Amino acid sequence: MKKYRLYQIDSFTKDKFTGNPAGVITNADGLTENDMQKIARELNNSETAFVFSSDTADYNVYIRYFTPTKEVPICGHATIAAHYALAVENNLDTTRIKQKSGAGILPVDIIKKNDDYKIVMTQGKIEFGMYIEDENKKTLLSALEINGNDLMENCPIQIVSTGHSKVMIGIKSNTILNQLKPNYNALSQLSEIIECNGYYVFTQDSKDENILVEGRMFAPAIGINEDPVTGNANGPLGAYLIHHKVVRHNKSLFRFSAKQGEAIGRMGIIEVEVSIEDEEPIEIKISGEAVTVFQSELII
- Hey, which residues are catalytic here? 47
Q: Which of 83, 76, 99, 13 is nearest to 238 (CA)?
A: 76
Whole-angstrom distance, CA of residue 140 vs CA of residue 182: 9
Q: Which of 122, 69, 151 is nearest to 232 (CA)?
A: 122
Query: Taking a C-beta distance cutoff of 8 angstroms, is the pair 144, 181 a contact?
Result: no
Whole-angstrom distance, CA of residue 8 vs CA of residue 4: 13
Q: How many CB atoms lie within 10 A of CB 286?
A: 28
Whole-angstrom distance, CA of residue 294 vs CA of residue 71: 23
Amino acid at 17: F
Strands (E), 139-186: 158-161, 166-170
